[in-house]
Structure 1
Amino acid sequence: MLEKLTISRKLLKELDFPIIVTTILICIFGSLNIYSASHMSSGYYYLKAQLIWIVIGIALIYFILLIDYSVIKDYAVIIYGFGVFLLILNCIPAFQYTVNGASSWIKIGGISMQPSEFAKVGIIVMLAKQLEDMEGNINSVKNIAKLTMYALIPMALIVKQPDMGMTMVCFFAVLGIYFISGLNFKVILGGILGVTILGTIAWNSSLIADYQKMRIVSLFNPEKYEASYSLQVTQSKIGIGSGGILGKGFLKGTQISGGYVPESHTDFIFSVVGEEWGLIGCLVLILFYVIIMYRSIKIARESKDIFGTMVCVGIISTMLFSVFQNIGMTVGLLPITGITLPFMSYGGSSMLSAFIELSLILNIGMRRKKINF
């Protein structure tokens, strides 16, 4: 029994420890900033909760590493189906839980969760499995239609919530997989054009809520909406700018401690980093993400099969977009979407899904070559 719960030494030698160490450093740094952002109003509540999620996430990594990822591949349909099932539950009013205008949460027995975070993993695993079965032949009308169908079903349910931020995360995961699979570039351009047309139609319909439209409109004219839709971004920019090169110091951020930046412990955690740790702290954090993505790309290139490569590509795409979008919105370069900063922002669903994604990359890297016993 104990042998089944132990990872062999030969496999451990293949484990990418730089990714693990860097991720833990980000989690610790994130926890410090979450405490700084929330201690004035909530004491240790969010810090304790985040540390619990981190511990659960690390345990989750260990148990997922025990399973050969080829076994996970065999259960791709179930993983994907479970994600879709959670999204369907979200369509039932009895389970819906609304946060900041979006009904993107479900609540069962007092426990709330964001289904789209787990559906995102399901999309990546399912597309990777299908591409493996297709032997990588994506440039076929039948194959691309099948792949796109699997991607569109959960994404349509996410749009309905509405959660445009997570929709974009899923879109870039699919785009990354399609691109690396060698999909004809003309098809990719055609797809982007199609999404643009659909986006224009959605903009002129009720699919996109008024407050979501105003987030985009206010981005191009922040002064006009400084007291309303641009308030959060304006305060965030003041905080980050006032941090200077070295920052004001831990627990010394006036914008953060004064409560001027809403959601500073979740979506706007980068504002805390900018004000209290300055430009140096921001660059160090970005460097940590670069290390994780560089090592992940290395694992994707060395994977022994198509499934492993595509899972890594999908996860790298989601992380790259999430980091870019989250930081971009806090400095006023991109519209507010509610996308969290991986391993930094407070949140159980986002933290657990990030750890699941990381464990899949580590699993693929650990088994990238045949181990002879």
Structure 2
Amino acid sequence: MSEKTEENGIRTSSTRVADSTRPAREPFTARGLHEDARELHIGGIRWLNFGWICVVAAFLLNVLGIVAIGTTEPGFAQKQAMFLPLGLLAATIVAVPDYRRFRRWVPILCLITLGLLVFVLIPMVPEAIVRPRKGARRWINFGITDFQPSELAKVVWMLAMASWFRLRWNIRSIRGFVLPFIITALPVLLILLEPDLGTALLFIPTLLALLVVAGARLWHVGLVILVGVISIGSVLFVPQVQDQLKPHQQDRVKALVAQIEGDDRYRRNIGYQGYKAMTLVGAGGLTGVGKEQAETLIQFNHLPEEHNDMIFAVITCRWGMLGGLATWVLFGVLAIGGYLTSASARDVFGRLLASGLVTMLLVQMVINTGMTVGLMPITGMTLPFVSAGGSSLVTAWMTVGLVLNVGLRRPRRMERWEVAS
């Protein structure tokens, strides 16, 4: 027996017919969760699934980060260790209810997130509530810690895009392909206004990966990538384009270009952070210099944000190239676990959600380590699970929790996605 439904150009088919007379269940209530558990018992829970690979890799990265932070900032390391149980709790909370239930909450989650992104930009809000740092308004003060709405925006946006691609448009058409970019522009623009270029850069590469998984035409995706490459080249080498950037962004671009050309004139000013990071990376050699000597080198070089954005430089200084390689391997293992979870999911929403979330973590890792070794301009982006920061860590664990959620569920029917012509 089979059932087919069609919604705005996208057809989904199931190998089993759902009971349309069954009353709607209550989401996120004791009764709703009890009914969820009963249905999952019928459909089955895959306790052995690829999502656990992500959990183990994330935990090892978290431990690596705490030890690395302790090399230079023991106080921050203790604080980060306190955030680890909170991150695990957040992952557990999002892993318990069936991930398909989150689709019902996407509209209200989007409104809350957009409201928070606007809130941090309001000039009248007292600095005791929204704490400016180095001219950026990104953090809301909750007393014991600060909360960064742009971190929440990454997860909520992913839920929204996975829901959108599942139900709304034929993305093989020009209209269906372009519309997600227009929707994504709203949170990206708000994040850029904070300003937070690093976080804003995550959305477009992740969206392209989602489009590929969702079945978009590859030449459409390739065209966007080509436009992106041309744009990046223009920013790096066309002065008229650089003039449109903010002063600190212009400085970072000039420092990167000078570094590529072997020009050391910016090493003591706008290129200082990148130069010091590369110095520490080179000092580590193959196997590293050990804890005590690493502490001395880091203090002597005065690397800014060594416990946060530049934590990869600390890792390679203390444990050498092998430490950096181990970090990349752990992220690779996490990505493999996430993509295998996506491939094993039985519904479109689960496949899109798992692959998109893991891609976002992977893109963030590439940008962070790339700027540390001098391949990209400094953007102020953290290394997931490794850099110091409560909001970043909890959000990263929520990401892994959602991937595990997809892996745990075994729906009672297989959903197949067909794009209508």
TM-score higher than 0.5: yes
Residue from 73, 77, 92 that aligns with 1:62: 92
Residue from 118, 124, 139 that aligns with 2:172: 139
CA distance in 2, matches of 1:80, 1:202: 33
Residues 249-264 of structure 1: matches in 2 within 5 Å?
249-253=290-294, 254-258=296-300, 260-264=302-306
CA distance in 2, matches of 1:335, 1:101: 19
Displacement of 1:202 in angstroms is: 7.1
Structure 1 residues 107 and 202 mapped into 2: Cα distance closer, same or farther (>3 Å)? farther
CA distance in 1, matches of 2:61, 2:332: 12
Partner of 2:331: 289
| Corresponding residue pairs, total | 363
Displacement of 1:132 in angstroms is: 1.0
Partner of 1:305: 347
Residues 1-373 of structure 1: matches in 2 within 5 Å?
10-14=45-49, 16-39=51-74, 45-93=75-123, 94=125, 96-107=130-141, 111-134=145-168, 137-192=170-225, 203-205=242-244, 208-222=245-259, 223-253=264-294, 254-258=296-300, 260-370=302-412
Contact kept, 8 Å, 1:89 with 1:106, in 2: the verdict is no
Identity %: 26
Structure 1 residues 263 and 131 mapped into 2: Cα distance closer, same or farther (>3 Å)? same
List alignment gaps of at least 5 residues for structure 1: 40-44
What is the TM-score normalised by the length of structure 1?
A: 0.89
Partner of 1:42: none
Could you say which structure has the larger radius of gyration? Answer: 2
Displacement of 1:80 in angstroms is: 2.1
Contact kept, 8 Å, 1:127 with 1:150, in 2: the verdict is no
CA distance in 2, matches of 1:130, 1:212: 33
CA distance in 2, matches of 1:28, 1:311: 26
CA distance in 1, matches of 2:256, 2:218: 31
CA distance in 1, matches of 2:194, 2:100: 33
CA distance in 2, matches of 1:276, 1:157: 38
CA distance in 2, matches of 1:234, 1:354: 29
CA distance in 2, matches of 1:102, 1:251: 34
CA distance in 2, matches of 1:256, 1:67: 45
CA RMSD, Structure 1 to Structure 2 (Å): 2.6
Kindly provide the CA deviation profile for residues 139-167 of structure 1, in whole angstroms up to 9, marking residues without a partner as x: 23443344233211111111222211111
CA distance in 2, matches of 1:317, 1:18: 15
CA distance in 2, matches of 1:288, 1:182: 29
Partner amino acid for 1:167?
A
Kindly provide the CA deviation profile for residues 50-98 of structure 1, in whole angstroms up to 9, marking residues without a partner as x: 1121110101111222110011122122222222111111221215432
Displacement of 1:127 in angstroms is: 0.8
Displacement of 1:100 in angstroms is: 3.1
